[in-house]
Amino acid sequence: MKTISTAKAHGGIQGVYSHHATSTACEMTFAVFTPPVAEGRKAPVLWYLSGLTCTHQNVMDKGEYRRLAAELGVIVVCPDTSPRGEGVPDEKDSWQFGCGAGFYLDATQAPFSANYRMYTYVTDELPALLAEEFPQADMERQGIFGHSMGGHGALTIALKHPDRFRSCSAFAPIVHPSTAHWSIDAFTKYLGEDRNAWREYDAVSLIEDGKRFPELLVDQGAADGFLDDGLQPWLLEKACADAGIPLTLTMRDGYDHSYFFISTFMDDHLRWHAERLKA
């Protein structure tokens, strides 16, 4: 692991790091905020997955999480959204596919299957590196949340790993990418034409197929321009109701899809996770 930068913030350390990832076959960058903790003490880990076109940097600059994360004593980990670099296949004219749009899945279709393995990276390789390099990280207390494509990732990962994560929430998640206009093309290129294979990376489909999580928290801007074509939170609401999964879905009047929306309700989500990540 290489240290790119560190800066003190609210008594803790905001660091940016990189390493060569075997799962994505390229150099990956990620951010970790470690709160001030007493020597010998461990802090719970909260994963934040970013959305389309983003990197680890967006939430660092605009998410406004450090003050409260320091107060609550929570480590916040922000991975990148996709593999990057020379040799990584990309479609530079599409913001919904390729670099910046990994969709937190393991691609099965060439040429993308060699690098686009973000599911394995986020659930396996990066947690192992975190446990090795950050001894203050309590890997027995983990939560996960994210925005848009990252909300999709958080929901699907939590549903498939309820034994690992104590909490899961999302800002404006893509809840049913198999039917969302802005994700169908990416799923086809990453996973092929067989839509049964898509169900492994689709929150609504996973719930329909029997996956469960104790409870979910979702905030959605009512003025979000992507609401009807991409996000469709009512589909998650129905799936959770049918499955008996407690879901707190709040439509925020006047809010859009931006980080103005995310930063407004970031404290609510941090407190919600911290309560569930108590020792």
Strand order in the sheet with 26-34: 2-9, 12-21, 26-34, 75-79, 43-49, 137-147, 165-171, 216-221, 247-252
Work out the number of other CB atoms within 10 angstroms of the CB of residue 157: 22
Under 8 Å between Cβ of 176 and 151: no
The answer to whether 224 is a known catalytic residue is yes
H-assigned helices in 52-209:
57-62, 66-72, 118-120, 126-133, 149-160, 181-191, 203-208
The answer to whether 148 is a known catalytic residue is yes
Strands 216-221 and 165-171: parallel
Tokens found for residue 150: 């990252």
Tokens found for residue 103: 């969709």
**What Cα–Cα distance (Å) separates residue 85 from each residue in 93, 96, 117?**
16, 18, 15
Q: Which of 56, 152, 257, 273 is catalytic?
A: 257
Ramachandran category for residue 54: left, alpha or beta (phi over 0 → left; psi -120 to 50 → alpha): beta
Under 8 Å between Cβ of 121 and 21: yes
Q: Tell me what percent of the chain is helix, strand and coil, each rounded to the nearest 5.
A: 35, 25, 40
Q: Which of 148, 167, 183, 205 is catalytic?
A: 148
Under 8 Å between Cβ of 116 and 24: yes
Q: Which of 138, 219, 224, 269 is catalytic?
A: 224
Which residue numbers are catalytic? 148, 224, 257
